[in-house]
Amino acid sequence: MQNQKSLFQLDPDVHYLNCAYLSPQLKSVEQAGMEGMKRKNNPMYIKAHHFFDDAAEVKQLFGQMINAKAQQVAIIPSTSYGFANALNNVPCKKGQHIICVSEEFPSGYFAAHQWAKTHDAELITIGTEANITASEWHEKIMDKINDQTAAVLISSVHWSNGIRFKLKTIGAKCKMLGAKLIVDGTQSVGAYPINVVEENIDVVVCAAYKWLMGPYATGLAYYDESFNEGKPIEESWMNRTNAMNFSQLANYDHHYTEGAGRYNVGQNANMIQLPMMKAALSQILAWEVSEIQYYCESLMHQLFDFCNDIGAEVVEEDFRSNHLVGIALPESVDFDELTHCFQTRNIISSVRGSRIRISPHVYNTQNDIEAVIDAISICSK
pLDDT above 70: residue 128: no
Give the pLDDT band (50/70/90) at residue 260: very high
* Mean pLDDT calculated for residue range 290-316: 95
What 3-state class would DSSP assign to 305?
helix
Among 114-123, 141-150, 247-256, the range scoring the smallest mean pLDDT is: 247-256
- Whole-number Å distance between alpha carbons of 166 and 164: 6
* Mean pLDDT calculated for residue range 168-193: 98
What is the sign, positive or negative, of the torsion defined by CA atoms of 235, 236, 240, 245? positive
CA distances from 266 to 74, 146, 263, 370 (A): 11, 37, 9, 46
pLDDT above 90: residue 18: yes
pLDDT of residue 64: 98
Compute the 3-state secondary structure of the chain and give helix, strand, coil in percent, each to the nearest 5: 40, 15, 40
Q: Enumerate the H helices of the chain as residue ranges.
A: 27-39, 50-66, 79-87, 106-118, 134-144, 167-177, 273-287, 289-310, 335-344, 366-378
The three state secondary structure string of 210-241 is CCCCCCCCCEEEEECHHHCCCCCCCCCHHHEC
Nearest to 332 by CA among 264, 292, 379, 272: 379
pLDDT above 90: residue 160: no
Q: What is the DSSP letter of 380?
A: B
Residue pair 27/7 in contact (Cβ under 8 Å)? The answer is: yes
Does 3.90.1150.10 match the CATH number of domain 5-20+288-378? Answer: yes
Q: How many CA atoms lie within 13 A of 31 on its CB side?
A: 8
Nearest to 14 by CA among 3, 4, 29, 24: 24
The phi and psi torsions of 91 (rounded to 5 degrees) equal -70, 165
- Residue range 314-356, pLDDT digits in tens: 999 999 999 999 999 998 888 889 999 999 999 999 987 778 9
* Mean pLDDT calculated for residue range 70-85: 98
CA distances from 3 to 14, 199, 292 (A): 16, 31, 10
- Residue range 193-242, pLDDT digits in tens: 999 999 999 999 999 999 999 999 999 999 999 999 999 999 999 999 99
Q: Per CATH, which fold does 36-286 belong to?
A: Aspartate Aminotransferase; domain 2 (3.40.640)
* Mean pLDDT calculated for residue range 157-174: 95
pLDDT above 80: residue 113: yes
Residue pair 333/136 in contact (Cβ under 8 Å)? The answer is: no
* Mean pLDDT calculated for residue range 292-296: 97
Give the full edge-to-edge strand order of the sheet including 219-223.
Answer: 73-76, 219-223, 203-207, 180-184, 149-155, 97-101, 122-126
* Mean pLDDT calculated for residue range 176-188: 98
What 3-state class would DSSP assign to 123?
strand
Give the pLDDT band (50/70/90) at residue 127: confident
CA dihedral angle for residue 283, residue 267, residue 83, residue 64, rounded to 10 degrees: -30
pLDDT above 90: residue 54: yes
Give the pLDDT band (50/70/90) at residue 168: very high
Q: How many CA atoms lie within 13 A of 211 on its CB side?
A: 33
Q: Checking DSSP bridges between strand 97-101 and strand 203-207, what pairing results, if any?
A: unpaired
* Mean pLDDT calculated for residue range 280-298: 98
Residue pair 11/246 in contact (Cβ under 8 Å)? The answer is: no
pLDDT of residue 351: 84
| Boundaries of every domain in the chain | 5-20+288-378, 36-286
Average pLDDT, the chain: 95
pLDDT of residue 126: 93
- Whole-number Å distance between alpha carbons of 174 and 342: 43
pLDDT of residue 130: 61
Partners of 206 in beta bridges: 220
Cβ count within 10 A of residue 53: 15
- Answer with the residue of higher pLDDT: 112 or 128: 112
Residue type (1 letter), 163: I
pLDDT of residue 336: 87
Global pTM reads: 0.95
pLDDT of residue 132: 75
* Mean pLDDT calculated for residue range 120-144: 88
Give the pLDDT band (50/70/90) at residue 248: confident
Residue pair 192/156 in contact (Cβ under 8 Å)? The answer is: yes
